[in-house]
Amino acid sequence: MFVGPDRLLWGTESFLAAAAQPWVDLFAGVQIPEELQDKYGYPPITEEARRKMFGLNQARLLGIDVAEKIAQLRRDRAVA
């Protein structure tokens, strides 16, 4: 079943095990091979899909305006 990038979230149990960064780095570069895309109709994993899975979907679920949060962080850094 294909649910699409709008319904996926990256998750980790890194507080229970080793650091998650190597897994994040690995997934960030993963691509579904063309033969599997052709055979099963899987779409390629785009940069937009990765941004959604690595945080934008969670922000949406939590009601966080990402653009406003980025602007706030930039203002805070300029003051510091």
Predicted pLDDT at 16: 61
Q: Which two tokens stand for residue 22?
A: 């190597």
- Quickly list H helices, the chain: 21-28, 34-40, 47-51, 57-62, 66-79
CA distance 53 to 60: 11
pLDDT in tens, 34-53: 999 999 988 899 999 999 99
Predicted pLDDT at 59: 95
CA distance 12 to 25: 13
Predicted pLDDT at 17: 62
Q: Which two tokens stand for residue 7?
A: 């319904």
In the chain, what are the domain boundaries?
5-79
10-residue mean pLDDT profile of the chain (80 residues): values are: 83 67 82 93 91 93 95 82
Torsion of CA 8, 73, 67, 4, to 10 degrees: -10
Predicted pLDDT at 65: 96
The three-class DSSP label of residue 20 is coil
